[in-house]
Structure 1
């Protein structure tokens, strides 16, 4: 083939392949010169060259090769030119190739349809060379031009394979090959403008009857068809507009003026073609369908060209009376479409469309008539007349497209009809009032069973959550701060422009304990931005199902969400339970395999989000229990922070819990799940006793109360009535999520009345522990710091442990008891960790009393331990008791019989504020102790506790209890001996 000349013939194939006649393929294959995958070098125009992969084709002439017209034009070919073909050795496979689009519009279309281009690029081109202006098709009507730059390996010609990495760089600002016939050359466009103006001047001088304005308008109308394609985002019309048809769309006036030039005092409207830009989901679904049928490319082209394109009329949004309202505010390129138009093009709110083929007026076609086909065969006698009346209402005319869906108002309601223009060659037309009469409107009744496609949902719908339903006041500050940050990140404020060079990224990290409503709060924040005027797209990526998966699997899963967010931007991506894939290892060892796994994922997320937000309007919301649960790569102490704004959800106060319970019961009553509610007065008690409950716990409490009511009224066929006893029983059987798995000390079977004497000690305990629970508002507003630590000391047996146990039942607080030595361990760091864990449990169970018994064994004076274990434990206790993180809702109670052995730092104010002595009981207290301990004993009438109290001087409470137990045991032994003697006498008598 070397040196043979062939003539160029343009063909319609949307590829960069060279099509060779069958004769030459058979001839060269027989002599083993041409093999599958070979590369052909084309020499043309006195030494210029290009490289192609080849395909066999049945040409009518043997010396003719086929090539796509757009590809040939970009390379400088003309149809009929003579070229020379040379067979080359197979070029090396490329690992990496860098390409740059010619314009920002091409770059935007590549970003929005990266999945489609990735899926079809190898079907369009296989051989590339350095400096090539490569033509690729997003669809049959959307070509883009890419400039090929550096390649790896460093060769002049290479071959694209499945694993070749294609890197798209910044646009070249319309730097195009020097070809006089190139369709998009900037200099060529300037030539068109200048030549057009001179042509207009000559026409003005030679043609009579035409004004200069008419000629300039004609020139501008022609120039509109040479403009670039624009990508717009789809927004819905706030309401139906009776004076505008379904094919009327609206563009913000500022955007209309920037992109399209209109003469002064002329209505800003033009006719154009709108084409849906497929998303990655559309491409994936189409590829799966095409793979089953074996025709991926044909299915893609059919989807893009036939069902996703139509002609419309675009007008300025100022035409709408309510344009000044917030419904139509947007500082981005967006187009407002009716529901019928979105249904026709299968467009969701936020989808991307391409506007092209701009014209000032529709093509001049002779419309002979209109044929109406009612959907489902429904019709009325005056449907044609109603259609004419409908057209007359349109002041600026009605745009009709062939086979469009039109809803016509009639006396019986609205009828959906399919419109067919006559003759069938007319694709679309502008019908003005008075242009048609009922005689040119034909109604054809035809039984049709296919259903019209419905308008897709706006965005993925979130499940109804407790937070969304209740609109809790305690979360309003968190939600408002998050909204302000996201509006700044997404550029939703009025001063933002799409070309703004400075981008501020304030991503959100929502922190809170399990069940407090982190996910629901994130969804609520997104729902605030989901509606008008911004229509922000949002997607939720649940990280918990990805726990333990490989980094490659997580990246692939994340990429699908990113593709959708980029396509529908401005967007918000929610990373729910981020700690599951980017947390910390349980052993806290940075060199472990788990830590390396989490760090790798964290660095991947850091790199992806940094690059993503540098050029796209995408906000990130992540949820996690705490900052310490996330990898240090994501939340470093210094350096780059991806999650800038950390919002911690506050706990529910008593008033908030009361509002939540009230709202939940009203929802149940509204949904007729309950016939009547008779427990309104009990809600105050329930809100007081449900300290530590989160929103989900309260919802579970109401459901459990309904279950109790149903079980109580199981024999009745009516809807249950919720009573106070049902709520109280459900509350007693409920355990909040934070306390599940935490071992709490059960309430003691005795209270203050069961402990005799020690009136002063009891009063001090009530002041520290009971008063803050009884009067929380008073203590909360007090300027003084609330005392949260108390030390009970005294001789052994004076009732220190019994007093601590009585606090749980008297004050209604959770109670955690710790025996001092059980926290000590021989392993380094284990004792300190045990101390941290016990305080963490107390924080989770608040309001809670943390009781340390035998405190002197846990916190002795520092410097007297050879191992250093107790010294580290004391240091940890000092930090926990009065460190940076103050104890809120946790009271510390310690008991010891040797206060002189404790470290003095523990006894200063701010830690263990009070030291209360439990003295040996005097005669009066001994009498009270004996009376309290003997309440459940059967006493003889001759028992005199006063005399016993006088004779037991120096006895402790434990000694007096032992005295009573010993006496009780002696009485039992005497009674048993008496019963045995009586039985023996009876046997002798028998």
Structure 2
């Protein structure tokens, strides 16, 4: 019984420059798979998509040996099919198919109606169709599969024009069919060529402008938006003048999210001509502007065409003070785009950040359509991984779901690097285990350690041996430790690595942070069942040294969320507007790398209360409030903040929807102090029977940081004694007492009373 194998679909390695029927319905299959399917080259085959419940798409073709012997073989099989094949049957590169020998037959074509197309101007001595019957019938007979719209070329065998290719397109086929299935050409099929002379067509004139998602994952919505805009070009003759053409598309999003891939798709959509402005802007400013003017003029004369501007935010960006860095060029681009408003010219640009683009170009008369390419969510990441894995048989599909869930904030570019890193680890593992297959005895007189001058030398496997690799989930786990998402690289060097087990006490804080940081992402089903909206913000306040920052970092570590740590004082700048810009950038990056946590340490430095009508810091506070109001629960951004001075914060921050809860993080109680002592002495040489219970009692009022410092100071005291006495001792009660004499309690009763008073005032305001 023939094996029921499944295959992915891939384009052939060598694509024709122009669509042609020659080889259009060949399905290139690896030799091993061809044998496993019980097929021979040239056999008619039927492809059926693998679906769950719904109807399968079916397609007929002919089996053909793949040009590359190992293409598509192994655990992750694929076959190569042409664009014509996919379009005829409605297949996509995301489909999985089964293949079997076809028992059904094609509809025989009775009459094939052709027309010849000549690009450009018809020459005065254009030949007729005499003497072309035989080469046309021969070519169609060799093609086997015929479809309406299919093109092919023939070469006249005799005459003055011998050797010059002539191109024909199938206009219609009789008898008509209700489906798009291909026909079979037989010796009985008649051929009819329209007219007595060729039909002149414009050079590379597009018949239908569109882009597809082949090779791109997670951008289906953006591709649909672009195709909706392209409809205006496809139906321009039926539209009123005011709706003809397009006002431009601006693709924006972080680096690596697919903007360049969409630009490449758009450039290959079938335009008469493609123009790119990026290259024309190098050199002298006057020459640049002349070159750009010429591009717009040439595009207008070659409609329908496309003008592509990559990295618009660099080309016409803003300087450090927010002013236009190149106002002359911005005005020139604006005038050029507005001059094409009713032309069949599409202007498409890309940028990483909309905020960095000269404002004169952010209008509905220039780039009306702003399409974002965001950092992909889990479902889109899985889709991208599957596309990357389909391109390389060494990357198994089985790990895509698990890796997709773990890669918060990763863009397509990051996922590609991750796959490469995982493959390198798989190679290293294979190299260590299998690459050296046996040992030879080699004479080595210089090797004194070898017995009788003979040493063992590993010999690599034969060069013809195929290296079969497959990255495991463990390889990806190892790669995730070193590969970080692009959105995070500009914010911190190392992710936090603090666990709840490393923090003593503060159980109510741990529980609260678990509910806001972990539960919504680890158990979204419970949140949905209970109809609970995730919190947007949580404020930690209390004396210094009581583990507020540690708790925030542990929340990020335990929840596996991306972590943005910002000190309020570090955001402030002497330049007007710079602090606000930096603040907006933090939120932008957090949204791009969501789900994520923004932690503002010393938030009172940027969110102080407005007093006496003073405007100092008002804009910064307003920016912070607006950014927090702009966070939606579905965006996956949690704002944590810490302060030692809660009374200094503006009251507007405390309303629900901004900081939903305020938690007091006070000094550790006796049990927490004992736990700190146990953790900090566990690996140190302490005297046997050291009474940690008593030490926990006598350290009442010390903060967590002070308790840690007491342990460190006690160890230093022991070292000093050892050096003085000339012998090593163990840390004892006396060393701790000396440490406590040096370290003064920083938390005073007045300070704790201040926090209690503020909490009561907040409670009174909330209840009123």
TM-score per shorter chain, which class?
0.5 to 0.7
Higher relative contact order (CA 8 A, sep 6+): 2
Q: Any unmatched runs of 5+ in structure 2? A: 1-83, 89-106, 131-139, 141-145, 170-185, 437-460, 730-768
CA distance in 1, matches of 2:354, 2:492: 26
SS of residue matched to 1:894: strand
Q: What's the offset of the Cα at 1:515?
A: 1.2
Q: What's the offset of the Cα at 1:603?
A: 2.7
- Matching residue of 1:852: 600
Cα 1:852/1:544, change in 2 over 3 Å: farther
CA distance in 2, matches of 1:395, 1:887: 61
Q: What's the offset of the Cα at 1:395?
A: 6.8
SS of residue matched to 1:713: helix
Q: What's the offset of the Cα at 1:923?
A: 2.4
- Matching residue of 2:257: 516
Q: Is 1:925 matched up with 2:666?
A: no
User: Between Structure 1 and Structure 2, whose CA radius of gyration is higher?
Assistant: 1
Deviations 1:487-538, CA, capped at 9 Å, x for gaps: 123316xxx549x6554334433322221112323444666x64xxxxx546
CA distance in 1, matches of 2:708, 2:613: 37
CA distance in 2, matches of 1:563, 1:756: 71
Q: TM-score, normalised by structure 1?
A: 0.49
CA contact (8 A) 1:544 1:580 kept: no
Q: Is 1:705 matched up with 2:446?
A: no
- Matching residue of 1:774: 522
Cα 1:708/1:932, change in 2 over 3 Å: same
CA distance in 1, matches of 2:686, 2:493: 36
Q: Is 1:628 matched up with 2:355?
A: yes
- Matching residue of 1:124: none
Cα 1:275/1:628, change in 2 over 3 Å: closer
Within 5 Å, which residues of 2 pair with 1:360-439?
A: none
Deviations 1:577-619, CA, capped at 9 Å, x for gaps: 33343444453225xxx33223232233224422xx34xx333
Q: Is 1:504 matched up with 2:251?
A: no
Cα 1:782/1:710, change in 2 over 3 Å: same
Cα 1:526/1:597, change in 2 over 3 Å: closer
CA distance in 2, matches of 1:620, 1:743: 37
- Matching residue of 1:729: 478
- Matching residue of 1:762: 510
CA distance in 2, matches of 1:741, 1:722: 32
CA distance in 1, matches of 2:679, 2:317: 55
CA contact (8 A) 1:479 1:525 kept: no
Deviations 1:803-856, CA, capped at 9 Å, x for gaps: 223233322223232222222233332332332333334334433322222222
CA distance in 1, matches of 2:648, 2:589: 27
- Matching residue of 2:637: 890
CA distance in 1, matches of 2:222, 2:322: 31
CA distance in 2, matches of 1:497, 1:311: 35
Q: What's the offset of the Cα at 1:791?
A: 1.0
SS of residue matched to 2:597: strand
Q: Is 1:578 matched up with 2:312?
A: yes
Q: What's the offset of the Cα at 1:943?
A: 1.0
CA contact (8 A) 1:710 1:720 kept: no
Q: Any unmatched runs of 5+ in structure 1? A: 1-234, 251-273, 279-303, 314-319, 329-335, 351-388, 405-455, 531-535, 983-990
Q: Is 1:861 matched up with 2:609?
A: yes
CA contact (8 A) 2:722 2:728 kept: no
CA distance in 2, matches of 1:837, 1:544: 29
CA contact (8 A) 1:511 1:624 kept: yes
SS of residue matched to 2:717: helix
Q: What's the offset of the Cα at 1:800?
A: 1.5
- Matching residue of 2:378: 654
CA distance in 2, matches of 1:458, 1:710: 48
| Higher mean displacement: 579-588 or 718-727 | 579-588
Q: Is 1:604 matched up with 2:335?
A: yes
Out of 554, 557, 564, the residue aligned to residue 816 of structure 1 is: 564
Q: What's the offset of the Cα at 1:680?
A: 5.3
- Matching residue of 2:291: 556
SS of residue matched to 2:359: coil
CA contact (8 A) 1:814 1:849 kept: yes
- Matching residue of 2:369: 645
CA distance in 2, matches of 1:886, 1:574: 36
SS of residue matched to 1:722: coil
CA distance in 1, matches of 2:238, 2:706: 84
CA contact (8 A) 2:282 2:288 kept: no
Cα 1:457/1:504, change in 2 over 3 Å: closer
CA distance in 1, matches of 2:581, 2:391: 45
CA distance in 1, matches of 2:563, 2:284: 40
CA distance in 1, matches of 2:381, 2:622: 38
CA distance in 2, matches of 1:668, 1:879: 45
CA contact (8 A) 1:249 1:337 kept: no
Deviations 1:604-642, CA, capped at 9 Å, x for gaps: 3224422xx34xx33343333343343333322xxx523
Out of 809, 828, 831, the residue aligned to residue 576 of structure 2 is: 828
Q: What's the offset of the Cα at 1:957?
A: 1.8
CA distance in 2, matches of 1:619, 1:341: 37
Q: What's the offset of the Cα at 1:916?
A: 0.5
CA contact (8 A) 1:490 1:618 kept: no
Q: TM-score, normalised by structure 2?
A: 0.62
Deviations 1:41-87, CA, capped at 9 Å, x for gaps: xxxxxxxxxxxxxxxxxxxxxxxxxxxxxxxxxxxxxxxxxxxxxxx
Cα 1:628/1:722, change in 2 over 3 Å: same
- Matching residue of 1:968: 715
SS of residue matched to 2:481: helix
Out of 390, 394, 401, the residue aligned to residue 666 of structure 1 is: 390
CA distance in 1, matches of 2:544, 2:392: 56
Deviations 1:954-973, CA, capped at 9 Å, x for gaps: 23223322332222222222
Cα 1:580/1:339, change in 2 over 3 Å: farther
Query: How many aligned positions are there?
Result: 552
CA contact (8 A) 1:860 1:902 kept: yes
CA distance in 2, matches of 1:816, 1:398: 69
CA distance in 2, matches of 1:906, 1:586: 29
CA contact (8 A) 2:280 2:288 kept: no
Q: What's the offset of the Cα at 1:762?
A: 0.7
- Matching residue of 1:142: none
CA contact (8 A) 1:654 1:687 kept: yes
Q: Is 1:695 matched up with 2:412?
A: yes
CA distance in 2, matches of 1:766, 1:737: 27
CA distance in 1, matches of 2:728, 2:372: 76
Q: What's the offset of the Cα at 1:874?
A: 2.0
CA distance in 2, matches of 1:857, 1:711: 50
- Matching residue of 2:232: 488
CA contact (8 A) 2:154 2:166 kept: no
SS of residue matched to 2:484: coil
CA contact (8 A) 1:244 1:398 kept: no
Cα 1:276/1:310, change in 2 over 3 Å: farther
Within 5 Å, which residues of 2 pair with 1:159-178?
A: none
Cα 1:482/1:978, change in 2 over 3 Å: same
| Higher mean displacement: 958-967 or 691-700 | 958-967
Cα 1:775/1:976, change in 2 over 3 Å: same
